[in-house]
Amino acid sequence: MPTITVRNVPDAVHRHLKRRAKEHRRSLNQEVLRVLEEEMAGSSESDRQAVRRACREEQERTPSWAITTREMKRMMREGLA
């Protein structure tokens, strides 16, 4: 496989990558490759995390008595809604 050398990486970027690598239990090299692959795929882990967080927040705002679409359709069939 080809090798890429990146010089003059800003300290903040290096720290961020090292922290991400540690969080994901990867080497720094593995994490950099992952970031590059995600960027090429057009989707990043942070995007997925943001979507998960938004879904979780929406679920927390939804009353616990809310019913599912399936339940609503059943109720409509049975004439309960």
Amino acid 44: pLDDT: 66
Burial of 11 from C-beta contacts in 10 A (0-12 / 13-18 / 19+): exposed
CA distances from 66 to 55, 59, 71, 73, 75 (A): 15, 10, 10, 14, 13
Tens-of-pLDDT digits for all 81 residues of the chain? 888 888 999 999 999 999 999 999 999 999 999 988 887 777 666 777 887 888 788 777 777 677 788 888 888 888 765
